[in-house]
Structure formats: C-alpha cells, structure tokens
Structure 1
Amino acid sequence: MPVIAMTQEMGSLAKDVALELAASLNLAVMRHEVIEHVAGKMNVPKSLISRLREGKAGLVERFTSDERSVAVYTAEEMFALADGGNVVLRGWGATCLLRPVPHVVCVRVTRSLRKRVEWLMGELQTDDAEFAESEVRRSDEAHASRMHERFGVRWGDPVLYDLVLNTDRVSVESCVEQISRLTSRPEFAETTDSHALLDNLTLQARVRAALKEHAPTRDIDITVEAGNGRVVLYGIVVNAEERTQAKSVVAAVSGVAGVDNQLKVMARSKLFTSGR
C-alpha cells in the first residue's frame, strides 16, 4: 500500500509527476480533499484557505484567520488519507508530517526559476516575464514561511526528502520511474510496526482536531500521544472544568479505547490589592 508524499512548487512539474505516478501505480491522488476538509471544518470559503496558502491573503484576512486551526485540520486530513494507503499526497506539508513513517516515500520535485517562470507565462498566456517571476517568488516565499512556522525547517532542504528530482534535467517519465522503483525497495516496505506508527499519528491528529472543534477545549495547548487506541494527555490547563472537558472530548473520538488524563491544573495566584 504505497504512500508517496511530494512537494508542491509552482512550475516544477510536480503535478504532472504526481498524476502520471498515480496512473502508473494505480494510486489515488490527492486533489481537493484537504482544502474542502479544512474550509468545511473552519466554516470559511475554500478561496480563503487558498489565498492563505499562496500568500495572497490581505492583511485583515491574515490577521483574523486562525492559522493554528488550519494546521490542525490539515494534519487530520493528511494523516487520514495516508492511513488509507495507495495514495500520492502533494503539498500541504505532507513530506514533513509523514516523514516519521518509515514506509512513506518523501520526494521533492524542483526546477530552475527560469523554467518555472517560462511555464507560468505559458499557463497565463502572457509575455510579462517580470510579473510571472514575481508570482513564482511570492508563492515560494509563502511556502517557505509556512514550512518554517509549522515545522521549524528550511523549505527545500534536501535532507528532508528521500529523493530530489530536477525536471530541468529529468523528464516526467523518468521521475515516475525513479519514484516507482523507490517504493518497491525493502527500505520502504510497509511493516506491522510502520503501519502501527501511522495509525497512532492518525489518531493523534484526529484527537487534536476534536479538541479544536469543541468550544470549551478550542484554545487549550496540550500534548497528545496515542498508542494502540490509548491516548495520553499532557500539559497545563486553566481549571478543573477544562481538564474534565478535555478528557470527555477525547474519550468520544472514534478509535480511542482509553484516556490517561495527565493534565495539570494551573495553580491560582494570590491577588493583592494595589498600594499594600
């Protein structure tokens, strides 16, 4: 059940590689599932999520948007798709989210700036190279910023990937062949342990999304760990009610067999009147 995580880079031909790879290996390819899932969970237009991802959102939109919710719901959908197997996932931080799972192949498809600008000019049917380059650079900056903020990594760092392919020199067909070969190597064979790890990460993501969906637990910042259906909660909450609510929400999540609530209640500070 191959799972392939790929980067998304404007004009790199990664989309072409993903589609041909999916057709070659009979895999599903992620299309609009993530943006629909995130927008639906947040009850906002899909166009807003797209603008935030591409760095096109205005100042007010960026200021009022809950980026943490975007990250939580994105992770929930990405892990759910990966857990189903037989899929190509492109963009949305898939390579960073899924890199801990041994059987997931993480790939970067890239290309020179000049070629990417030429590609965009062709797509837009324009001869304005300056405009096309500014759009490519803006997209790159948005991706780099998001990856650094969410994962603390430098976007494009080759050590984040199992395979880096340059479509300046390697054809789409050759990219597909190289990735296909890698999925069949023993290093990327799915094992009981690797699938269990993916199951645990998927449940953790589902739990975090559930906490985000419920008003009493929406703003708590805690650590969630899952193993074989049991979930452990670590961290500090404001009061006993918040602690109880968190356990109640988590216990109701599909796939949770038990909850070990290690949350600590914040001690109240003594209040002193001014001037004394």
Structure 2
Amino acid sequence: MIPASFAYARPTTVDEALQAIAAGGEDVKIMAGGQSLIPVMRLRLAAPETVVDLTKVTELRGVREDGDSLVIGAMTTHSDILRDPLVARYGKLIAEATETVADPAVRHRGTFGGALAHADPAGDLPAVALALDAEFVIAGPGGARRSVPASAFFVDYLTTALEEGELLVEVRVPKLGEGWGVRYEKFNRVAQAWSIVAVAAAVRREGSTIAEARIGLTNMGSTPLRATATEQALVGADVSLETVTAAAAQAAEGTEPSSDLNAQADYRQHLARVLTGRAVRAAAGL
C-alpha cells in the first residue's frame, strides 16, 4: 500500500528538530532509521500529519566516553554500534544484542535510539538498556533536557516516557569494567525474526562469589522487565551450576507474557527460565 499524504521536515540540528516537531500539528511522527515507522505507514496503521526525519542531525550520532559512562547518540546506527571500539570494550552486552537485530540491511539503517523509543517489548535493545541501568537523555521544547532511567522510560506496549514535543537525544550507559561478564541469549523461530523470548545478563564476580547480577527479559510483558527474583537469589551466592540453576528457576516470577501464534504464555515462561540459566552461566564464566 501507499502511505497517506503527510508533511515532511528534515532538520539538521536538534533545535531545528524540536521546532519542526512543535510546528508539525497534532499528529507528528519522528523518523530515525524508519525501519519500524515506514512499514506501519505503508499499511496505514499510522497516518501522521507530519514526519520529522532526523537522518541529517549529525550531532545525534556517535559514541563517546564521559567519565564512567558510554554516551550513545540516538541516531547512531546498529552497524556503527557493532564497529565502535568503545562499545566493544565497555558495552559488550549492547554489541551482542545488536548483532541479533534483524539483518544487515536493517542494521545499516536502523538506529539505537529509534529502536529504544519504539519500545517494542519483543525488540532486542530495551531489555539490554534495562539490565545496564541506562539513562535516557530527552530534549524538550526550548531545548531543556531531562534524564529518565530505563526503569521509568518504558511505560507500556510501544509507549515510553517521551512527552509531546520531546526528542530522545542520547543514551548514557554505565561502563562495565573488570569483573563483569555478559551474555545475550535469544530464542526465535527463524533467523532475523523477533524474539519469542530473550535474556540480557550482566554478572560481576568477586572471586568465587557473585557480587552483582542484572537480568533483563525480552517479550515477557508489555514492557521489558528485570528478573528481580533471580537477581536477588544470585547476589552473594557462590558461583556454581547448582546456584545458577536454582536462581534461574525464578526468572519468570512476576511476568505476564502474552499468548499468540508464536508461543503460549507458559511456554514463554519456560523459555525465560531456560535462557536465563544459559545467559547467567555464560556471564559468570561457568
């Protein structure tokens, strides 16, 4: 199908983008890589009055260091993430998950911030941002900026804390240094498909003891979730196959996965337990 007609703006700065959003009317859609927006517009599931295209806003691209954080521009493509040496050094979990996103063509156009702002609970990056305690930096009317933790950014299905007239500009991710191990485990029916369930695990060891554990769950509810029961069971425990297996058995607690053509809810809960076990074992070096 062909999209309904719409006005089009292509700003070159964040300030121009905010002005275009403010002037765009009642229904404005922001286009990053367009890999999610364009298909739904072609199906006329979305018919915005105005599309604001961010592809020329170069200040939203790139990865840099800021003290103990990695700062990733919202318009940094998945391909650029995979090639970036800072991500390879300090954000390996991001790289592991990004490598599983769709196919090379989508990774070439799709963006880090676009995938997060789209907030699909089956997407690979939201659960990773949650597991890494990321901070989302948002610019609003007049250029004012605010930070929202990942735990508060994802509000509901395809819904975030972004308010009318606001724009995600960058994501700040704490660096994972010595002692941390990570793993992204994903289960899907065919290559390049959405996750049926996936698990993002980051584990910090102190000798033979687990000092910290962060586990994000993909597609286990209307938003990405933390496997808090498993995290609590792991912290302070000895690193062993028995400990990890017992903790992973609690991964589905508090989740409400959907049932659909791909999987029933109880099967997703089973997958969450299995994949959590695999991810934590790998992250802990077992």
TM (norm. structure 2) is 0.28
Per chain length, whose mean CA-contact separation is higher, i.e. which structure has more relative contact order (CA < 8 Å, sep 6+)?
1
Which one has a larger percent strand, Structure 1 or Structure 2? 2
**Structure number with larger C-alpha Rg:** 1
TM (norm. structure 1) is 0.29
Which one has a larger percent helix, Structure 1 or Structure 2? 1
